[in-house]
Structure 1
């Protein structure tokens, strides 16, 4: 089972990668750094919370572990 701090660090690194990639995609569509950054940032915050909760939930499920 992962510790809370490990899950937190995994969530942060995942969201940084997502933030960068979504900023690039948003910029390609909008040609605006501020618009693409806002879209990416809001998606990163929502994704961070969902991923963290998802990982914590799955850490309590024993299915598939050996």
Structure 2
């Protein structure tokens, strides 16, 4: 079972990586740094929370796990 701290760190590190991609795509489409940053930050906040809760949900599902 994962700790809450580990789930948060995984979510934050993944989100940093993914936000860079979202920012890059938004910048290509908008051509504006400010707009791209707003899109990237908004997506990061929403998706980080969603990812954390998704991980916690799956942590309660035993299907597919092997006993160690």
Q: Give SS of 2:57's match.
A: helix
1:1-66 equivalences under 5 Å are 1-66=1-66
Rounded Cα–Cα distance in structure 2 between residues aligned with 1:2 and 1:59 = 7
Q: Deviations over 1:8-65 (max 9, x none)?
A: 0000001101111111100000000000010011011110000000000100110000
Aligned length: 66
Runs ≥4 in structure 1, deviation > 4 angstroms? Answer: none
RMSD: 0.5
Structure 2 gaps, min length 5: none
5+ long unaligned stretches in structure 1: none
Give me the TM-score of the superposition, normalised by structure 1.
0.97
